[in-house]
């Protein structure tokens, strides 16, 4: 029996003879642990700020060797979209009265498919919470001192990617970006999958709830960012991949008018074939199929929507994956956005192409960018090792006449454009050909097309290509810079580290230069380079753009023109002309009608590509 006189309040020297050395060591360690916990708790500096909905409590976070930020996590920007508010546009939150809202803990992600949760977990290791009650945003404020500490700051609002199916606003923290750019950073959750993008009838079931959530968050910024030291008149919206698609649509939507000044599109375009369902009948058919799968098939879409409001959220989540890929169960690799923005409602009254040419465009200036090899992430899953013809055959679904009837023609066209002068036995050559098909059709050509339209409408457009690949990169050097790699440099990950990435000093230099370029655009609407060169506007026919590279560990911004001109012309001009020549306005593809995208690339709703991987490629 231990002598209870051995109390931690006694002198440790008295404990040693009475309790034994081991117990004394244990108690010393215990006291040290308690001291650390108490010290950490006492060292946390909480900050309380007003909002129109009530007071919120955040805290000060220290980024080693960089500075401090105020963090506010999980601030509600709309009422929870549950019960009768499911499948409805977001409405105002009621607030929390005289209480102080605790904004120190990350909110749950919006409901999403568990089987591809790895996308979110990759960015935020260990995070595993999701809920239908998810309309929250996060604010990061750089802590400043000196005579300018009270000046209003520019604001960057981030819209995350993830194919409108997965992800969350806080996948990458905004501390380093906020500190190094000297801006306030805001990120948001928005409804995903069927809960965010199911639609079918402009009057009773208009859909587009996910992007309307984004509009609501932007309205919150306009009404509240002043309480956080931000300038509501200097808001830039930015999105990556599917988030960039959404940003492009906000530039066209009447609902987003006046909510931002500048826009940044990173590896995405409103004109990409995967960005928008352009025909209401396609949206309606999609909704009917989904309703049937969960037992809600009714006489009209209003009744369907009311029934879907009563379906258990887990049932919806479980059925999402099955219904999305019902025809593809024997395939391992899928590139397809089953739930995305549709046309015909108050958010997107018409197709992006028509809105771009006939309606006002929101935003004064646009910064657009891609990576050097957008299609290289996952391209190896297309390669069979059988033959280059077979591998290209796997990719024919990226062109409009990809039905079986035209398979031979499709393969011939792609082989001539991408593989006529390569060694079919060279694995790297084959890989780059296949990744070129994917990257050009999916990201680069649509981005260039959007830049062309914006420039023609006299908008200030700036374009870049992120061509830097670290010597420590996870991907092979010969495969180039894959989709999404630049995102980590934008958020300053080389300065803070990452569970799955390794970085060196050169990576930090690149990250700093990349952030500086963005910061100048966010502040002035015109990006600056880290040398005497002037960042040229993107103006046809020169179509100047900047390539970010390194030379002897120093960042080099190289001015170039007409990005991948031959390949872009192939996708933006030759393919549509070929389609017209075939006189095919609608094409049957595995029994599913798909639609033309005017000057954009068309794509069957099947996009099933032979491979031996179980991963889903997310945009």
Q: Reply yes or no on whether the pLDDT at 468 is more than 70.
A: yes
Looking at 93, 160, 173, 483, which residue is catalytic? 483
Min mean pLDDT across 250-264, 403-417, 502-516 is at 403-417
| The pLDDT of residue 263 is above 80 | yes
Please give the average per-residue pLDDT across 271-280, as a whole number.
Answer: 87
Residues 100 and 78 in one domain: yes
Residue 613 inside a domain? The answer is no
DSSP codes, 60-75: EEEETTTEEEEEEEEE
Provide the 3-class DSSP secondary structure of residue 11.
Answer: coil
* Residue 473 scores a pLDDT above 80: yes
Average pLDDT of span 139-147 = 91
Q: Do 224 and 359 sit in the same domain of this protein?
A: yes
Spatial separation of the C-alpha atoms in residues 29 and 198, rounded to whole Å: 56
Same domain for 353 and 282: yes
Structure tokens at 104: 């120190």
386 band by pLDDT with thresholds 50, 70 and 90? low
The region of weakest confidence among 174-178, 284-288, 494-498 is 284-288
pLDDT band at 577 (very low <50, low <70, confident <90, very high): confident
Residue 619: inside a domain: no
Higher pLDDT, 7 or 583: 583
pLDDT at 221: 99
354/111 Cα distance (integer angstroms): 33
Q: What whole-number distance in Å separates Cα of residue 486 and Cα of residue 491?
A: 9
β-strand partners of 560: 545
Of 323, 324, 350, 319, nearest to 335 (Cα)?
A: 324
Q: Pick the closest to residue 191 from 308, 303, 295, 108 (CA basis).
A: 108
CA atoms within 13 A on the CB side of 167: 25
Print the domain residue range for 37. Answer: 12-43
Q: Which has more confidence, 24 or 428?
A: 428
Between CA 193 and CA 340 the distance in angstroms is 8
Beta strands in 215-269 (DSSP E): 230-240, 262-266
* 462 phi/psi in degrees, rounded to 5: -130, 140
pLDDT digits (tens, 9 = 90+) for 479-504: 889 999 999 999 999 999 988 889 99
- Please give the pLDDT value at position 387: 58
* 92 assigned to some structural domain: yes
Would you say residue 10 has pLDDT above 80?
no
Residues 374 and 359 in one domain: yes
Which one is predicted more confidently, 550 or 580?
Answer: 550
User: To which H or E segment does residue 203 belong?
Assistant: none
Which CATH number do you get for residue 167? 3.40.50.1820
Q: d(Cα 296, Cα 311) in Å, to the nearest integer? A: 9
pLDDT for res 394: 59
Instruction: Express each pLDDT in 47-102 by its tens digit.
Output: 999 999 999 999 999 999 999 999 999 999 999 999 999 999 999 999 999 999 99
Residues 199 and 341 both lie in one domain: yes
Give mean pLDDT, residues 191-204: 90
3-class secondary structure, 211 = helix
The segment with the largest mean pLDDT, out of 5-14, 37-46, 104-113, is 104-113
Are 472 and 484 members of one domain?
yes
Contacts 24+ apart (CB under 8 A), 410-413: 413/578
User: Please, what is the average pLDDT of the chain?
Assistant: 83
275, part of any domain:
yes
616 confidence band (pLDDT: 50, 70, 90): very low
In a domain, 513, yes or no: yes
pLDDT for the residue 447: 98
What's the pLDDT at 81? 98
* pLDDT band with cut points at 50, 70 and 90 for residue 589: very low
CA dist 445 and 481 (Å) reads 17
Are 472 and 492 in the same domain? yes
Whether 327 has a pLDDT exceeding 70, the answer reads no
* Domain assignment present for 151: yes
Ranges 73-77, 415-419, 440-444: which has the least confidence: 415-419
- Mean pLDDT along residues 565-574: 94
pLDDT-derived band of residue 592, with 50, 70 and 90 as boundaries? Answer: very low
> Quick one: what percent of the chain has pLDDT higher than 70?
79
Residues 235, 101, single domain; the answer is: yes
What is the 3 state secondary structure string of 504-572? CHHHHHHHHHHHHHHHHHHHHCCCCCCCCCCCCCCCCCCCEEEEEEEECCEEEEEEEECCCHHHHHHHH
Nearest by Cα to 603 from 590, 617, 612:
590
Query: Would residue 240 show up in a list of annotated catalytic residues for this protein?
Result: no
pLDDT number for residue 607: 29
Overall number of domains in the chain: 2
**Using CA atoms, how far apart are residues 556 and 617, in angstroms rounded to an integer?**
31
Q: Is 43 a catalytic residue?
A: no
How remote is the C-alpha of 188 from its chain's centroid? 11
Residue 394 inside a domain? The answer is no
In a domain, 4, yes or no: no
Q: pLDDT digit string (tens) for 213-247?
A: 999 999 999 999 999 999 999 999 999 999 999 99
**Given this model, what pLDDT does residue 12 score?**
32
| Residue 309 scores a pLDDT above 90 | yes
Please check whether residues 37 and 76 belong to one and the same domain: no
* pLDDT of 194 higher than 50: yes
* Comparison of pLDDT for 71 and 146, the residue scoring more: 71
* Annotated catalytic residue 483: yes
* Residue in 187, 199, 241, 256 annotated catalytic: 241
Q: How far is CA 52 from CA 77, 190, 218, in A?
A: 10, 21, 14
Lowest mean pLDDT among 85-89, 123-127, 141-145: 123-127
Q: Are residues 26 and 112 in the same domain?
A: no
pLDDT at 111: 92
Same domain, 105 and 39: no
Residue-level pLDDT at 594 = 30
Over residues 526-552, mean pLDDT: 93
**In terms of domains, do 126 and 26 share one?**
no
pLDDT band with cut points at 50, 70 and 90 for residue 250:
very high
| Marked catalytic residue, from 154, 374, 417, 449 | 374
Helices and strands in the chain, H and E counts = 20, 19
pLDDT cut 90: percent of the chain above it = 59
Answer with the residue of higher pLDDT: 343 or 125: 343
């Amino acid at each position: 029996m231990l002598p209870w006189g051995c109390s931690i309040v006694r002198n440790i020297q008295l404990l040693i003879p009475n309790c034994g050395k081991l117990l004394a060591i244990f108690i010393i360690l215990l006291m040290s642990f308690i001291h650390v916990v108490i010290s950490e708790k006492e060292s946390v500096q909480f900050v309380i700020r007003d909002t129109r909905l009530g007071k919120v409590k955040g805290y000060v976070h220290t980024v080693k060797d960089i500075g401090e930020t105020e963090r506010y996590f999980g601030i509600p920007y709309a009422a929870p979209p549950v019960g009768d508010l499911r499948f409805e546009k977001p409405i105002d939150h009621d607030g929390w009265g005289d209480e102080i809202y605790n904004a120190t803990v990350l909110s749950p992600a919006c409901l999403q498919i568990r089987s591809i949760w790895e996308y979110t977990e990759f960015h935020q290791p260990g995070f595993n919470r999701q809920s239908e009650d998810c309309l929250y945003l996060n604010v990061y404020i750089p802590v400043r001192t000196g005579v300018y500490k009270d000046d209003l700051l520019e604001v960057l609002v981030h819209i995350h990617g993830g194919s409108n199916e997965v992800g969350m606003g806080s996948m990458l923290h905004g501390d380093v970006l906020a500190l190094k750019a000297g801006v306030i950073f805001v990120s948001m959750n928005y409804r995903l999958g069927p809960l965010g993008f199911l639609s079918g009838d402009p009057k009773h079931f208009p859909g587009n709830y996910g992007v309307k959530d984004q509009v609501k968050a932007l309205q919150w910024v306009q009404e509240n960012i002043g309480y956080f030291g931000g300038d509501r008149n200097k808001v830039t919206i930015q999105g990556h991949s599917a988030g960039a698609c959404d940003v492009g649509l906000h530039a066209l939507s009447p609902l987003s008018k006046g909510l931002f000044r500048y826009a940044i599109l990173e590896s995405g375009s409103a004109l990409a074939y995967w960005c928008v369902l352009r025909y209401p009948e396609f949206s309606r058919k999609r909704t009917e199929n989904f309703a049937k799968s969960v037992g809600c098939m009714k006489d009209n879409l209003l009744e369907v929507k009311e029934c879907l409001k009563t379906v258990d959220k887990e049932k919806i989540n479980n059925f999402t994956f099955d219904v999305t890929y019902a025809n593809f169960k024997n395939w391992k690799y899928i590139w397809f956005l089953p739930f995305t923005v549709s046309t015909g409602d108050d958010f997107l009254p018409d197709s992006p192409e028509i809105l771009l040419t006939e309606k006002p465009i929101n935003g004064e200036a646009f910064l657009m960018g891609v990576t050097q090899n957008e299609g290289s992430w996952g391209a190896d899953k297309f390669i069979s090792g059988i033959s280059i013809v077979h591998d290209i055959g796997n990719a024919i679904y990226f062109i409009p006449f990809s039905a079986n009837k035209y398979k031979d023609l499709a393969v011939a066209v792609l082989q001539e454009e991408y593989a006529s002068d390569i060694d079919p036995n060279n694995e790297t050559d084959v890989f780059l050909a296949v990744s070129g098909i994917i990257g050009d059709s999916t990201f680069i050509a649509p981005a260039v097309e959007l830049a062309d339209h914006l420039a023609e409408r006299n908008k200030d457009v700036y374009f870049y290509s992120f061509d830097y690949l670290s010597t420590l990169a996870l991907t092979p050097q010969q495969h180039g810079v894959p989709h999404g790699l630049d995102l980590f440099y934008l958020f300053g990950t080389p300065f803070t580290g990452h569970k799955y990435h390794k970085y060196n000093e050169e990576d930090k230099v690149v990250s700093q230069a990349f952030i500086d370029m963005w910061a100048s655009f966010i502040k002035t609407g015109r990006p600056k380079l880290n040398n005497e060169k002037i960042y040229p506007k993107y103006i046809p026919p020169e179509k100047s753009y900047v390539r970010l590279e390194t030379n002897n560990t120093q960042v080099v911004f190289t001015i170039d023109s007409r990005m991948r001109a031959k390949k872009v012309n192939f996708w933006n001009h030759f393919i549509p002309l070929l389609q017209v020549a075939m006189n095919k306005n609608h094409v049957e593809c595995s029994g599913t009608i798909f639609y033309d995208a005017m000057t954009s690339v068309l794509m069957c709703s099947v996009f099933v590509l032979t491979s031996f991987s179980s991963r889903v490629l997310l945009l």
